[in-house]
Structure 1
């Protein structure tokens, strides 16, 4: 049989302290007071008397009080075997001490035991009765010539213990409770002589919160009785559970003042609640369980406070469908084989002094006595004793340490019990862990998860949450007006991940990584640039190389047919320079393809600007040369001296030099450089060339547009010149196409992202270069190669004259 050894330990400690002082009494009083009905009173005389108050009966009959006559005595009902065993533990301890001649030689211990019957009235009556000698209640007087009262063991309830402690504290009588856990009893100013062998609720409630946190439960219901034990416990556990990050689905009070304990209301709340975990801090839970049975409320996991975690009254087969799988905190207990033998030896014929023995017999053996008769058997100031109780510190034979701290509390050690189905088909309380508040950090809470059996004999830890868990890649979003545990799940923002369930916030990836599709881990970002390995890259590269061969081919044709009229009439040297610049224009596009090395970034725009400046300068020189050549043939013209090579060379040198100076300033003061862009395209690292100065880039491009515009205007004005000298129309179309390409390039360039920005510039380079090649040289090559009859001086001069005369 398992019992809490606290009662026996107190008696042993009291015995130990009595060896240190003398005992005697000289007080004699003559009293004639009305007798009280002492039903439920056990007494055994001795040289020293130990008092005890116990809750033997767990129900009572209440009578109406009309204040016109003396209230009737309370009638106690529903005998509880488990509480009666506590009474017998005190009697057993006394008998063991008396049988040991070494503990108290020549001194016999006696006891006075009173059944408080779950009421404050009986608790006060018991305390005052023992202070008065055990037979009559006479405050401040002892009217019985028995042994001195050393102290009182009791009571089991916090409310009753508080009432008794207020009385006993006045007389400095030591009071040691074996079951009162209210934190208020630790106040030494209010209760200077109170001690207990069970830890304060503050330790247990922290343990309950740890239990909730250990299993990841965040949605919990609370039930507590409306007494000091329940109210203080409710306040503490609510605070601890909230601090642990859980939320309360409901918090209800069991109204012990009502006959039905408001059980129907509580059962409805528990039934409707989505919380699967309910913490119960109460002694009187039976009525609520009965209502839960009536409404068929099952499927909940109960967390029991120590007041009922090992209750035999609730461990019956009737409640196993509801309470199977219950977890609770129990006072650390030990095995006492001798006490088990002692209880089995109890018999009504040998324990005539015990008024409870017949009820015990009836309850234990499910029988009924023919007639019920209770046999009733028939202070000194010993304030040295309180001092010694305060300093008690010893170890029992079983290795249990007995001591009290400055607040009268023992070491806080609990067993964690699990309610399982035994082989006999009944509920049994199996220890699956422990909680030692004074243990080292990290070792105070120990529990064997695999040893726990939940409801329906399930071994998986049940889930109790207000909202389903947020998966990886999601985060919790608090819903306004609801508890923090009732949330919604939202996908992590772009560029962030959550790698654990129920993440409160998402974590950003490092600059060189990016979330996967599930957003639960960061992967290295792929780099992006216009590579020769990409289809777009090698297509543009092939087009550049092929295009660059075209001006070389045309140059070869011009060289081979340089004596023909068409080639000579179109300024052969200037055309060759233009074709070479176009060859470089096509090739410069290759500088934009491939990995952007720093050297490539520094030179590619400069090279593009210089070769295009040379190209447009040649076109402009060609246009001006045509205009000057035509006007110089008129009689008396002063333009004859400007028809030489110097004019075109000067135009090319001046126009190209301006662009060269612009590029030199750009490179020196705002040099382009290679950079890693992680913002333009999410999930990628764009390796690109930063132009250093966007202003310089657009100035260079604007300068090329300016040259092209002048060429277009001059060519357009000279479009009606005779055909023999007229390249103006061809130049007009070429410059119109050139300008159209680059005007279209601007919005496309600004809107493109990543490698497509570079591809857009390459495409513009190739397109504008082809515009010049196609408009100026293709028609001439066609005549030279395929229409040689048109490549004659007579034909050119004749057609030119006719057109001039007609015009």
Structure 2
């Protein structure tokens, strides 16, 4: 059934061709007739579909029929070099004593004109071995067909693959098509190419955009399946890297709409804000695009996949920035020599051969291929000379050599090493299905000592060169390599760009130019996407308080580490200032001064009491308790100094524990004094049993017992959860508070609670004994001192809890000083007043 379908297509091809042969004239060009194939016999034959003449449509031309049939295109011959590379490689292999030494290669090359019907016709001619091919019929005068090397467009390459499998000639090697679909080894198991897959091409374009920071681009693509599929891959890659596409326009290949389509695309490009246009079109329409009105849009950077873009003359000579991705290639010296010395007889009978042949006489041609010509052969119409260095001839050359190496591996393999000789019938018994194994595992070095192989998808493991047009001072153009992309090299080395070589258009105000929907957000700002717009279109808003954006174009602002905070511009995090209640600052200095002043007063009072120890007022109410109270108050004043200064492990432990113990001793002494007053009054009554409790032993026991309880609580606190130095990073914005963490807040309030309990008991007892008839009754003063003490510490708790940072420490220091000063003043100032200013009252008669 497939054979019948092919036969029907070929019959249709012949009918159309015969109808058009006598009436097809392309403006001033001669009529185009299908050329006969170019043959050379050999033990093994290589088929070739090499396009020598491309037809580029005029604006308004019909794309629905072959261009040569409608007079709607103009031919441009660029690919003579491809044909010559094919022939040159075959001759070199046949003359080699190392590669296929006992076999000769032949070829059967046809010109498909980039036309599907003519491709089918040429393919059947190759398969049948006849000039006029007959489906399912073979008349071969030479060896079997090994494979077909073709340079067809992507769609035709896929169609040819299906046709070749019908004829059981599966091996197909293309030197032009990077068709994305054909990388599928399940659907196309016998397909190989000496160019990379266009999947890598899309990745290279995305790398180029990312390198220059171009996030706002437009795409123009032809409407063939391969280009549209590539556009979707491009779109995904661009958006994945944070870019956006302003527009995607498709070139419609239809005669009735092409003018309207071209003008629509022109207006879209001209009105767009993007500076970067990706031109992803079939190479056979490159010249058409360059000659269309689309090209008049200025101030754009064009990225194209068609290398011919640089070498086809354009009617527009304005300086434009072009980047073209070209398959990486090198010059083959032996091939240059072959072109320079080739006999024109080997060329197909092409009507444009004479023009091309004269081109090689021009002085501007590279010396490696320039011919020595007579005066009447020179030509000023220079089209083709540079194409030898950048066309597909390198890929054709490698394709022929790759096939030859696979054949050589097959012939010389140990399992198949039989007597081949030149007997093609024996060879045919092993062909073509075995050759595919050797092609798949091929790894060889070409004449330039380059290692070449196919990857798992049948794609050549080579990369791309990035081309750019450089305008020289004399006005001429030079096409230079400004970068490369090779996905097969180690990560991080796959993409290279040489910015110093690139020559940008003079109209650009930035070098390199930028293509963005919105201006870049500076550090300190973040992006805010505009409603209904792509993510690349945004406004810049400042970072909120406490957050920064260090890099440009950040989507979100970030919080600084805990030990840092934003600077004024919010574009960097700076270390927070570590703060604590220090001796150098005014608050710490003032509290230190007050502490030392009260300490000195305490020392003076203690000295007075020691000096006047024999006087009645000092002896009254237990002299030893007065000394203990004064010393404990003295230590309480000194305890407040531990709260000032940079906290460390020792000071954190001493702060609360020393303060709690010293205050418990002071309050225990006051309680003992109060109890002594009560006992002294009741013991003086006749027959009182309380006389035995009088004396210093009972008072000291009260002091020791009460202070022991507080000491036990403090020791338990230290063993269970002791205080420790702590950097509080969240208490105050922009600062780090160096403070003491109490460890156990329960223990802290137990210490304060016990002090309050002692103070309360002392206050109650003193209040009850305040009116006892004793001249030197201290109960009145103790009552007032306890009232001051309790007021200070009751007001301390809410004040302490409502403040933060170092002011909490200052509140506690103030409470310690105020309560200690209250005890000192209320109890001892009246006595000092009498001792110093009213000595007459310091006698026994006042008792």
Aligning the two structures, in what range does the TM-score lie when normalised by the shorter sequence?
A: 0.7 to 0.9
Which stretch shows the higher mean deviation, 445-454 or 473-482?
Answer: 473-482
Residues 695-724 of structure 1: CA deviation (Å, up to 9, x unaligned): 222112111112222333344445555683
Contact 1:165 1:194 in 2 (8 A): yes
1:641-656 aligned at under 5 Å gives the runs: 645=696, 648-656=699-707
Aligned to 1:211: 208
Aligned to 1:451: 501
1:225-236 aligned at under 5 Å gives the runs: 225-236=222-233
Contact 1:53 1:126 in 2 (8 A): no
Count of aligned positions:
737
1:459-608 aligned at under 5 Å gives the runs: 460-465=511-516, 514=564, 517=567, 528-561=579-612, 567=618, 572-608=623-659
Aligned to 2:54: 56
Residues 360-412 of structure 1: CA deviation (Å, up to 9, x unaligned): 79998689xxxxxxxxxxxx999868977975987766667787678654443
Describe the shift of the 1:581–1:106 C-alpha distance in structure 2 as closer, same or farther (beyond 3 A). closer
1:123-522 aligned at under 5 Å gives the runs: 123-124=119-120, 127=123, 139-140=135-136, 154-172=150-168, 176-186=173-183, 195-241=192-238, 246-257=243-254, 258-260=257-259, 262-267=261-266, 269-270=268-269, 275-283=274-282, 284=285, 297-305=297-305, 307-308=306-307, 310-313=309-312, 316=314, 318=316, 320-321=318-319, 323-334=320-331, 337=336, 353-356=349-352, 409-425=459-475, 427-440=477-490, 442-456=492-506, 460-465=511-516, 514=564, 517=567
Secondary structure of the corresponding residue to residue 415 of structure 1: strand
| CA drift at 1:239 | 4.5
Residues 735-762 of structure 1: CA deviation (Å, up to 9, x unaligned): 2221121112223333444444333322
Describe the shift of the 1:740–1:273 C-alpha distance in structure 2 as closer, same or farther (beyond 3 A). farther
| CA drift at 1:767 | 0.9
Distance 1:502 1:240 in 2: 19
| CA drift at 1:340 | 7.3
Which stretch shows the higher mean deviation, 725-734 or 184-193?
Answer: 184-193
Describe the shift of the 1:577–1:261 C-alpha distance in structure 2 as closer, same or farther (beyond 3 A). same
Distance 1:430 1:585 in 2: 87
Which stretch shows the higher mean deviation, 656-665 or 694-703?
Answer: 656-665
Distance 1:535 1:422 in 2: 74
Describe the shift of the 1:73–1:129 C-alpha distance in structure 2 as closer, same or farther (beyond 3 A). farther
Secondary structure of the corresponding residue to residue 115 of structure 1: coil
| CA drift at 1:227 | 0.6
Secondary structure of the corresponding residue to residue 584 of structure 1: helix
Secondary structure of the corresponding residue to residue 761 of structure 2: helix
Secondary structure of the corresponding residue to residue 354 of structure 1: coil
| 1:732 has 2:730 as partner | no
Contact 2:767 2:780 in 1 (8 A): yes
Describe the shift of the 1:694–1:788 C-alpha distance in structure 2 as closer, same or farther (beyond 3 A). same
Which stretch shows the higher mean deviation, 631-640 or 221-230?
Answer: 631-640
Aligned to 2:70: 75
Distance 1:572 1:277 in 2: 99
Which stretch shows the higher mean deviation, 615-624 or 39-48?
Answer: 39-48
What are structure 2's unaligned runs of at least 5 residues? 1-13, 22-31, 42-46, 97-101, 360-378, 383-423
Describe the shift of the 1:507–1:137 C-alpha distance in structure 2 as closer, same or farther (beyond 3 A). same
| CA drift at 1:285 | 5.2
Distance 1:175 1:167 in 2: 11
Aligned to 1:41: 34
Give the structure-1-normalised TM-score.
0.73
Superposition RMSD in Å: 5.3
Contact 1:47 1:147 in 2 (8 A): no
Give the structure-2-normalised TM-score.
0.70
| CA drift at 1:550 | 0.9
Contact 2:200 2:487 in 1 (8 A): yes
Distance 1:650 1:411 in 2: 98
| CA drift at 1:766 | 0.7
Distance 1:448 1:543 in 2: 73
Which stretch shows the higher mean deviation, 138-147 or 544-553?
Answer: 138-147
| 1:766 has 2:817 as partner | yes
Distance 1:508 1:427 in 2: 53
Secondary structure of the corresponding residue to residue 355 of structure 1: coil
Secondary structure of the corresponding residue to residue 79 of structure 1: strand
Contact 1:474 1:498 in 2 (8 A): yes
Residues 195-245 of structure 1: CA deviation (Å, up to 9, x unaligned): 544332233223323333444544544332211331232244344445656
Distance 2:433 2:711 in 1: 105
Describe the shift of the 1:256–1:787 C-alpha distance in structure 2 as closer, same or farther (beyond 3 A). farther
Secondary structure of the corresponding residue to residue 318 of structure 1: coil
Aligned to 1:113: 111
| CA drift at 1:549 | 1.4
Residues 668-705 of structure 1: CA deviation (Å, up to 9, x unaligned): 55544455555555766655444443222211211111
Secondary structure of the corresponding residue to residue 199 of structure 1: coil
